[in-house]
Structure 1
Amino acid sequence: MNVPATKAQRVRAVLDILEHAELGARELTAHLGLPPSKLRSVQRDLEDLQLTGEIERVGSGRYRRPARASTLNPVEALAVYSATRMLHHHAAGYNEHYLSALQKLTAQLPGTARHVAEQANAAYRQRRGGQGGAQAEGSSASRTFELVARAWLEGRVLRFEYHSPTRVSTVELIIYFIELNPQNRQAYAIGVNRLRDGDVPFVFRLARIRDAQLLTDTCEIPSSFDPLEFLSGAWGIMTGEPTRVELFFSPAVRDRVRETPLGPQADVAPLASGHTRVVLTVGGWKELVPWILGWGGEVEVIAPAGLRSHVAQAHAQGAQLYRQTELT
């Protein structure tokens, strides 16, 4: 949020905030990024706005803007609020856009639920007070997310430095879609890097984007691009050649396997022995590894051979680590 420079900007910002949250003068001053010396000015703003009926006092020195007609029914508001909560869980630090969305949706929840949701929002707001590197990282993440969203919604090219695990490269991205990985809850931009030959979309993790700049160049999303088709073979977000994966789960986790969403294309077969045979077709198996390892010794990889070898090696390394620990 930009720090308001004039009284008019400050009053407008106060109204925007109090439409979606109940705050006191000190909290508002900090939320606006104003120095403590501006506390009295904010208090006068609140007094004036209360006199004109634009805000109301709700006790304990807190204020709010009277609720207006909701555009969502309670179930719709809860569904969207829950989705936004999942979005904010992916961020290691504070993201002002996530909080703003949560506050707007909270205002549309029924009374008791709204009170509980406001407490959750307040806990998330505390991340804003992070110090040093954590605060700077949160601000940078908010800025990146804002620019990525604007590039997609405004049809503009986004230029940035992309820090992959192996190298740093310059990207000028035409964004086709923005998606959250259901496995690691990270946000990704899907699109074409116009600095590379070809028109095949690639996937870019937002957390690895640095020095993003929104260019004036405009672009279009091809009408032939279908995000669901593009991601249809992905276990999380990464795509690739279709790979058949066969897993054999022990009887001890039969119910857990049945309750786990494996996608519409999964072939899940409970066996008379109590074991469960699962066959998946995914675009490459690397994203599956953390999930498979999370089952420990309750699952055996049957195929492909490369995945079976990788998981076996990871278990062997873990066992060796614990053997060394027990000896020391």
Structure 2
Amino acid sequence: MHGQAAPEAIPKAERLFRLATLLREGPRSVRELALALYPTASVGGEGWSGVERSIQRDIHDLQRLESDYRKISGRPPRHVIETHRSTLHPVEILALHAAARLTYHRAVGERMHHRAALQKLGQWLPEHLHGVVNRSLQDVGRRNNREDLNLEKVAAAWLGAHPLRFEYRKPGGSGQWRTNIMETYLIEAHPQNLDLYLIGLETSFHNGVRTFKLSRLRALQVLSDQTYTIPDTFDPQQFFHAAWGVVGTQGRAAETIALRFRADAAYRILEGGYAQMSEPTRHDDGSITVTIDAPVDSSGLPREALPWILSFGPRVQVLSPPHLREHWLSELRAAVVGGEEQL
């Protein structure tokens, strides 16, 4: 070993920076840090003891400079600068990253904020995942950035507890644009389409808690000279207790719907995952009957549950209530007539 050259010197400032980066990635011993900084050095070889002493002094400095530094007892002791990566459980990091990716892929516009968030979350992942994560964020072309601007204003209003003024009209593009002022309580992603929705107190017309789709807003303005307080009486669990998406009961009672699924669809229901569904009743032919609870809109229809029911086509029957059964049948008849006209 005596013929091997001593490790090349690294300036102290650079050494501290690189050591802090390594310690944010996870706990390391002095020897592990030395090998990471000096990969060509030989343990016990010429200059090795000096390298270890230098790193021990650097760790002492980092202990003063980094408030999140922590020494882990053991043989040998290990050192870490705690970050989300080192304190979160791996499944917690996976959940955060998966949630961010879902909204990233669904968002329109340039998605610069979604991309920035994913890049920061990606730093919590092990180094061998950085390449594939970064490549997955490459966009093709340039798109309308109105959604990014809307996100900035929505985020500023919500985080700053400022009312948000915007123009909105009902789904389908019918009716007039109407100015609304809203005190945002929550921002939720729809579990089916992943679009973002604002839930809060609308004070201009309804003076009640309402839900608005972010992509339908226009002419947003943060009323930064005003603030509001989210009341303790707003209970998200109660508001969403029968929701099939992001539209809560909003003061209206949920409706109980009885459904019968054919045997070739029953397995999907038996797999579970439907919080607002009763225990199924099984029949000899393999079919099952269940009831679900769903909020209704001003027309008396469960608008968010209907697409899910219709997605089963002829493999489900609406048994009750009668007005919903009639609406379901009319939708199926219209689909048949429309399909024949296309042929």
**Structure-1-length-normalised TM-score:** 0.70
User: How many Å separate the matches in 1 of 2:261 and 2:135?
Assistant: 41
Instruction: Work out the CA distance in 2 between the residues paired with 1:100 and 1:183.
Output: 24
Matching residue of 1:100: 116
The answer to whether the aligner puts 1:214 opposite 2:222 as a matched pair is yes
1:324 aligns with 2:341: yes
Tell me the secondary structure at the aligned position of residue 267 of structure 1. coil
- Aligned-partner Cα distance in 2 for 1:197–1:320: 38
Q: 2:212 matched to which residue of 1?
A: 204
Select the residue among 143, 148, 170 that pairs with 2:179.
170
> Is the aligned partner of 1:242 residue 2:254?
yes
Within-5 A mapping of 1:1-328: 69=83, 70-71=85-86, 72-122=88-138, 125-126=139-140, 129-130=141-142, 135-136=143-144, 139-165=145-171, 166-196=175-205, 198=207, 200-215=208-223, 216-238=225-247, 239=249, 240-263=252-275, 265-284=277-296, 285-326=302-343
Is residue 245–residue 304 contact of structure 1 (8 Å, CA) maintained in 2? yes
The Cα shift of 1:108 comes to 1.2
Whole-angstrom CA distance in 1 between matches of 2:221 and 2:232: 26
Partners of 2:253 and 2:105 in 1: CA distance: 30
Q: Distance in 1 between matches of 2:191 and 2:326?
A: 25
Partners of 2:276 and 2:337 in 1: CA distance: 38
**Aligned letter for 2:279?**
D
Q: Secondary structure at the match of 1:152?
A: helix
In structure 1, runs of 5+ residues without a counterpart are 1-66
Displacement of 1:79: 1.0
Q: Which structure shows the bigger proportion of residues in strand conformation?
A: 1
Deviations 1:85-131 (A, max 9, x none): 12223324432111111111112112343333222222xx33xx32x
Whole-angstrom CA distance in 2 between matches of 1:173 and 1:118: 37
Q: Name the CA shift for 1:90/1:306 in 2 (closer, same or farther; >3 Å).
A: farther
User: What amino acid maps onto 2:151 in structure 1?
Assistant: F
When Rg is computed on C-alpha atoms for both structures, the one with the higher figure is 2
Q: Which amino acid aligns with 1:217?
A: Q
Quick one: which amino acid aligns to residue 332 of structure 2? H
Q: Which structure has greater helix proportion?
A: 1
Determine if contact 1:74/1:108 at 8 Å carries over to the other structure: no
Deviations 1:253-296 (A, max 9, x none): 22212225211553333333211212111112121121111111
Structure 1 contact 74–110 (Cα < 8 Å) conserved = no
Could you say what secondary structure the match of 1:321 adopts?
Answer: helix
Question: Which amino acid is 2:192 matched to?
Answer: Q
Going from structure 1 to structure 2, the CA distance change for 1:265 and 1:274 (only over 3 Å counts) comes to: closer
Per-residue deviation at 1:250? 0.4
Which residue number corresponds to residue 32 of structure 1? none
What is the RMSD computed on CA atoms of the aligned residues?
A: 2.1
Q: Distance in 2 between matches of 1:176 and 1:287?
A: 21
Output the amino acid matched with 2:236.
Answer: P
Describe the shift of the 1:183–1:307 C-alpha distance in structure 2 as closer, same or farther (beyond 3 A). Answer: farther
**Distance 1:100-1:321 versus aligned 2 partners, 3 A rule:** same
Identity among equivalent positions (%) equals 31
Residues 152-197 of structure 1: CA deviation (Å, up to 9, x unaligned): 1111111111122333111111111111111222211111122236
Q: In structure 2, list runs of 5 or more residues that go unmatched.
A: 1-80, 297-301
Amino acid across the alignment from 2:324: L
Aligned-residue offset at 1:247:
0.8
